[in-house]
Structure 1
């Protein structure tokens, strides 16, 4: 690589699949834009294709985030039942193997299909790795419409080449047109799209544009919200909140969906022409009748026997009926609750008589009303962050969060299905429930705990700038201000209709009323969502008194018409719009947990907003994570490979996480927009995942030596030799290119950034003049999040590489090469030797030298993964 042209490393077209394909010849890859177009995909459906030389995982949906159903041996021929391009533009095939149906990425097939009359053979579709959870057509979402004829609504609709609005428009379909639904698909945004044919063209139309008739498994119905809830853009809480719905609101339900976390969500119309998703637990579900089963029957996931059997019901069982439906075969079916929180469909002939249920039946929710106990307790939060839910079970929404040492009064508790207690408390967001594991109990003798002094007792003002009112309401005259720590005697207490507890006091001979937040040590904290002005009144025209910023904590005194009365860190009191505050800090690591992903153990933290995290390695086996974090949720459960974990507060009140690993374990850390992950793995090279990037390729030869040797050729040969070395040591290896093709730099880093791999190594040959010599390893720490690990990797590889090949050691250097700078993995760029030097040119072209270089880099990686 020529140093005189800094951009020579910035090679720029075809993104190869991460797994090795059945053929490594250039003709085995699709050219140009490296993807199958819609017409080609449709022609593949119905053909028989063969799995390539690697066994293939069949999954329950069309991305690698779905669970594995079965592994299909290499060379197996399968009929392609359907084909789909997901939101990541990967082509996946629906197949059946050993009686099981599922989805396999097209990358693992040896595809041989003649497209149209052109006689063009479509080879392997070339796709990047995708981690986005795309809901495939194998889900129940929209499936009941497949095969039915549905009509476009009152607006013309665009038919697109794929199932998101990012795909190109292939036709415009007039309003009122009736179309047969060929297949259904739920994309990454949880939008249901239908595959249809119009004027000889096939494409995708969003289901929102159809005037849908009810079908098997889905009838248009309305349900009443029984607890305040949020409407989301998609069927998980990670999607944006688009609206808030109050108890008592009746919403039209369009469909239901169970996400990857086993949460049941319902799609609703929350405003004219606007649809969103709400957790099913927010609704009251009315039974229309109850029936007794007269013969042993099976319950199905839809209203025909072709749907999956979910339960068997014995004679004499009484079931609540929610809906009635007659399917296309004229069979009458009922939707029933067959277990707590579980619904399915059962044929009408399973029942005998109908007995009507009360007009206003008990709402079916996950709550445990029958086990509610009246008991007064004083609670103190014992964990850094505690989720507060809308009901007494883990299935209810998180409505807000409490922080360590926050204090609450509870007058009731409920026991869940595990006989664990949930305590009911009041918050600024309304009623909420706390689990027994996150609180410590104070006074539980049955009397109300005293939070404020009683009549005749003395106390002190806890807030700055407290006001003494003439009467027990905010509209009465202000008698005077009271400084923090002012002593007083309590004369009386009462609770106003707005929920405020007022205390009548005598302070220095002056009698008046104060709200209880003036004397409470613990009051709710909220956080700024952006830079915002604090006013001296509940109006944007009022005088400015202070400014808060992203993640600034403030104390909440009271709310009024969309405004919040707060006390800032500088103890200034004022008003701010409620939309400028959040119950949780936007800059924190929350919901700390352990997960198994692709068979490997992870520690995972959620990020409420996008912000940068920094880490360092202060000593062997110790990882220090920081970055202006207001809080870090410590994982309490034991983690294999982790010796200890603790959260510390440092100057400025920010939090730092210190993790000490077992001496036999190491880690790979990744900072994503929505989460931080730490993969915990045993030390050593075996099982590690490595990406090898041979620089340049095809039209870009790289540097050319005096005897005509080309950089692109020698580094590819070395990459293949290194692949063999690493795989022999038990590592999993991916080549960004295994043939003479050209890749843009972004394509190379995309392979790394969309993967769960552990290291990225880019191979190059240096160039300057005939006397230049030696080996250099580059890294980047100024931009790359994994700069600390990249430096460690660079030092390890450089040391063992120069020992193996005997070249001059030019050392480890930091640079801004794209493949390091824009890489999220620990990554290095290795300049093997100078191709501009005739002696080193000959060495670079030598198979023996390439093998030695491969052995040296492999040794460097072994030592890196031992640290």
Structure 2
């Protein structure tokens, strides 16, 4: 009998101890939250599959951490990974992986960015937060290195980029740092539409993107009938039969008589159609030039001294006949004197969605907003931007700006994203009945002016709409999650078309 009692006590203690430990574990378990929509991936890494999104403000149990990535419990049977810099743990920011200072080598050399959409990060690795994205052709100063990552200084601040996307100006630099000299890179043009960009040189390899006909790419390596290329921050393989070599010396351009306008200060005008050629002069935002020829993605322009120079297509915008119509409408009773608040979504630490080829939504939102603001000011409207540079503005502050200026119209500009990369189109949102009229007018004008899919005018409880007493609309102007659409959205042609359409939508709204 005594032995039986001891056995019962032992069994009770065995069952009791795990129950207690489980209670303590659950009570003290860390949680992860997000104050913006964050992608949940099946494995740690920005190149991994998106399996869902975190709900804003919801606490998710933390399972483990791994090099800046957090594994969280999504449902009782599903886990996923989120980037640490996008979320908070127990209400506090997740500490970033410290930079290993002993690996840093100091430098002071010049380089040029060779791809659009290059992400400038806070540290040497993809686990560090994205500060902003940089355009092709921008000259930078290299401050230090850490393995394959370079710390650079730009007009937008300092940060880290991978050395694959920099062209060092002095060949001696590579010898001094122990880096092997990179082979001369070839330029080629895509000859078919929507060709496959693959992870390896094989037709059975994973398709990691699509490239449109006429796109100019850089060949960095060749293997049999395949070419390894750099394109908009991505590296992959395409079949060489789908490319046409573009020897700069033998290329013949297409004649044009367009007038182009610079969109950045300190823009380099060069002696040839390449980022490596000599800089003839430096010009600023707003200056115009007469283009006489187009060579791939470069304009040949006439200079004031009668000589010719070259300027990259991605840092200018063409003047459009529609702009002339807008310029002549300064006495329009429809827009003159109207107060219009333009709200470029996201900004600063909140990048918004990130496109397939690396576009940061916050940057594209601002680009669209500034172009639209210019058109509206020309028409005599009073225009207020909730942000005019890359800073974070809380949502309620954006609404407060709308109220403070008694906005006649408040327009929040965004670009969308979804797990299905085939989805495309434009959606316009409102919350109250007096906002629906504005959203409908803008949406109708946009759909008529573009070939985007009509995804409708919808009601939504976005803070900038729900808390806004003024006529307001939030526009999703396309999908950055669709590779083909992302390229279209980035083009100067689309930006001109979409902002002119919004302009006319406002004009129609005020004329009702």
Aligning the two structures, in what range does the TM-score lie when normalised by the shorter sequence?
0.3 to 0.5
Larger Rg: 1
TM-score by length of 1: 0.20
Greater strand proportion = 1
Higher helix share: 2
TM-score scaled by structure 2?
Answer: 0.34
